[in-house]
């Protein structure tokens, strides 16, 4: 009996030291998170969205006829409504990326760090967060046109107005200039460290990315001064500076393409004859890095592409290469090749960017081939092909650059879509069963915006010339 009384007494003492409300706390999910962790999460959500092949959220490889579907062909035929694809894009970019970046910035601003170097490190972090936000906003504008911007991300504004795309772009470039100035003036190269899955905290890498993004945005709107200023700064000038996230080998940090094509056990995609036939005609050295061969029955493996929009039996055609389907294959959102193609186009327009259109074109092609595992001899041989050489390849600079840039942007569907809208090449033919007679040049506004933010949606639709997939986005200039 005495032992029982002692146990009860001890229990009462312990219990008296514990508040009853403590029992209701979720110890596994923190009430507060750091700005750094929000940045890491937003960064991954953004890259996942840009590289995903999930037809619920990213169908730009299908628009650009890199891939086509096998059994379920709706998205290859431009059906973007049955699955709420515009709404998924919108939600991921606003809620899972921009909102988290916005909160990350607020928390980092309010956080006191120790040490003499930390004021500069904080400046670096805030500038990098904003560079990522500018990139994300640019994707939204290039996808939809006018979008909520000045009133977006504010919890007190439930029905934000839509801002003019040109005005948004002008403000984004101003923000980018301020970020570049901050990163340039920093006395230290430190920032996020391992919390940054793209440049691992290297401020120099982020400065190159920011300048390259400025170059791209300047080219999109045809702003010569912006382009020339960016071209004179530090750009992504080697594949080692490519902006990419390297995935892990185990879930949930695996390459989204691996998730969609391998882990899912599904066989939903094959490459199209549009890209395979064109690469075969050029004897392109990247074919094996992009696609597998298939035996069509005569014992001789060949590259064979499906027909865009048709039902294409998976075993009959080539497949996406094993490299791209690796769980830890990197996702790239900006690379050296793209920078050089942008400079080639700028030079062709007569902008003062240093070098000629031909020299940048050659460098761009070489950067792509070397990235995909080619050697310099294969680069030289390819550039000697009369169908590839800048001086003899068919067409004007739109066609020359447009066709080769389309090949180099393989596996980067969104950027290829933007390049196609800028240059007009390749000249893609819509599938015979497509929902629309031509490849969409924008996504429709989400249904939720039409129903919940109706007045602002109607005003935006009228301002852009109609909420239609054929309405050209005003900031994307074809010159």
Is 261:320 a contact under the CB 8 Å cutoff? yes
- Kind and range of the H or E run holding 83: none
Domain-located, residue 185: yes
DSSP symbols for 315-345: GGS--B-TTTTSTT--EEEE-HHHHHHHHHH
Is 100:42 a contact under the CB 8 Å cutoff? yes
Is 424:70 a contact under the CB 8 Å cutoff? no
C-beta atoms surrounding 233 within 10 Å? 15
Same domain for 223 and 303? Answer: no
Same domain for 241 and 271? Answer: no
Supply the range of the domain harboring residue 293: 256-316
Q: What is the CATH number of the domain that holds 102?
A: 1.25.40.390
Rounded to whole angstroms, the Cα distance separating 469 from 479 reads 21
174 class by beta-carbon count within 10 Å (0-12 exposed, 13-18 middle, 19+ buried): exposed
Q: What is the pLDDT of residue 30?
A: 52
DSSP symbols for 350-369: T---SS-HHHHHHHHHHHHH
Rounded to whole angstroms, the Cα distance separating 37 from 107 reads 10
Q: Could you identify the residue written with the tokens 């953004």?
A: 46
Domain-located, residue 476: no
**pTM here?**
0.93
Q: What is the pLDDT of residue 32?
A: 76
Same domain for 177 and 281? Answer: no
Q: Three-class SS of residue 311?
A: coil
Rounded to whole angstroms, the Cα distance separating 319 from 350 reads 41
Is 363:405 a contact under the CB 8 Å cutoff? no
Domain-located, residue 101: yes
- Kind and range of the H or E run holding 294: strand 294-295
Rounded to whole angstroms, the Cα distance separating 381 from 373 reads 15
Same domain for 163 and 290? Answer: no
Same domain for 153 and 189? Answer: yes
Same domain for 187 and 306? Answer: no
Domain-located, residue 396: no
- Kind and range of the H or E run holding 349: helix 336-349
Same domain for 202 and 66? Answer: yes
Domain-located, residue 221: yes
Rounded to whole angstroms, the Cα distance separating 95 from 88 reads 10
Domain-located, residue 46: yes
Same domain for 241 and 260? Answer: no
Same domain for 81 and 169? Answer: yes
Is 319:271 a contact under the CB 8 Å cutoff? yes
For 115, the token pair is: 């040490």
Q: What is the pLDDT of residue 28?
A: 47
Output Rg (C-alpha) for the chain, integer angstroms. Answer: 25
Rounded to whole angstroms, the Cα distance separating 86 from 339 reads 28
The count of structural domains within the chain is 2
Domain-located, residue 48: yes
Q: Could you identify the residue written with the tokens 């924008």?
A: 442
Domain-located, residue 153: yes
- Boundary of a domain, candidates 316, 344, 360: 316
CA nearest neighbour of 180 among 131, 136, 217, 220: 131
Same domain for 154 and 284? Answer: no
Same domain for 202 and 102? Answer: yes
For every one of its 479 residues, what pLDDT tens digit does the chain have, with 9 covering 90 and above?
A: 444 444 444 444 444 444 545 544 544 445 579 999 999 999 999 999 999 999 999 999 999 999 999 999 999 999 999 999 999 999 999 999 999 999 999 999 999 887 666 778 899 999 999 999 999 999 999 999 999 999 999 999 999 999 999 999 999 999 999 999 999 887 677 899 999 999 999 999 999 999 999 999 999 999 999 999 999 999 999 999 999 999 999 989 999 999 999 999 999 999 999 999 999 999 999 999 999 999 988 889 999 999 999 999 999 999 999 999 999 999 999 999 999 999 999 999 999 999 999 999 999 999 999 999 999 999 999 999 999 999 999 999 999 999 999 999 999 999 999 999 999 999 999 999 999 999 999 999 999 999 999 999 999 999 999 999 999 999 998 76
Same domain for 287 and 185? Answer: no
């Amino acid at each position: 009996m005495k032992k029982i009384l002692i146990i009860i007494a001890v229990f009462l003492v312990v219990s008296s030291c514990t508040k009853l409300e403590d029992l209701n706390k979720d110890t596994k999910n923190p009430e507060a998170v750091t700005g750094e962790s929000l940045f890491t999460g937003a960064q991954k959500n953004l890259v996942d969205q840009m590289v995903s092949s999930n037809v619920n959220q990213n169908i730009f490889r299908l628009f650009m006829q890199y891939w086509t579907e096998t059994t379920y062909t709706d998205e290859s035929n431009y059906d973007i409504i049955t699955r709420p694809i515009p709404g998924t894009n919108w939600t991921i970019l606003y809620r899972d990326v921009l909102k988290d970046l916005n909160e990350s910035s607020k928390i980092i601003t309010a956080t006191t760090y120790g040490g003499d170097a930390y004021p500069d490190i904080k400046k670096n972090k805030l500038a990098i967060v904003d560079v990522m936000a500018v990139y994300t906003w640019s994707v939204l504008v290039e996808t939809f046109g006018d979008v909520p911007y000045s009133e977006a991300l504010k919890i007190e504004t439930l029905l934000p107005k839509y801002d003019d795309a040109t005005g948004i772009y002008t403000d984004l470039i101003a923000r980018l200039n301020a970020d570049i100035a901050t990163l340039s003036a920093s006395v230290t190269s430190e920032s996020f460290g391992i919390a940054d899955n793209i440049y691992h905290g290297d401020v120099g890498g982020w400065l190159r990315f920011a300048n390259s993004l400025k170059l791209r945005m300047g080219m999109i709107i045809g702003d010569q001064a912006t382009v020339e200023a960016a071209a004179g700064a530090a750009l992504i000038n080697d594949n080692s500076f490519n902006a990419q996230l390297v995935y892990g080998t185990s879930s949930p940090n695996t390459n989204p393409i691996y998730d969609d094509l391998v882990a899912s056990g599904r066989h939903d995609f094959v490459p199209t004859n549009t890209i395979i036939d064109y690469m075969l005609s050029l004897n392109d050295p990247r074919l094996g890095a992009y696609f597998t061969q298939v035996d069509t029955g005569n014992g001789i493996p060949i590259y064979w592409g499906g027909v865009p929009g048709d039902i294409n039996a998976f075993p009959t055609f080539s497949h996406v290469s094993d490299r791209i389907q690796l769980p830890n294959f990197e996702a790239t959102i900006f690379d050296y090749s793209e920078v050089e193609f942008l400079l080639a186009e700028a030079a062709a327009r007569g902008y003062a960017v240093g070098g000629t259109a031909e020299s940048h074109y050659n460098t761009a092609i070489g950067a792509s081939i070397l990235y995909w595992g080619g050697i310099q001899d294969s680069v030289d041989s390819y550039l000697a092909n009369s169908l590839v050489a800048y001086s003899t390849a068919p067409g004007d600079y739109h066609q020359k650059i447009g066709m080769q840039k389309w090949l180099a942007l393989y596996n980067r569907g969104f950027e290829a879509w933007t390049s196609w809208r800028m240059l007009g090449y390749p000249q893609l033919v819509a599938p015979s069963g497509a929902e629309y007679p031509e490849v969409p040049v924008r996504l429709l506004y989400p249904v939720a915006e039409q129903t919940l933010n109706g007045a602002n949606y109607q005003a935006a639709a009228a301002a852009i010339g109609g909420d239609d997939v054929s309405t050209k986005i005003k900031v994307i200039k074809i010159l």
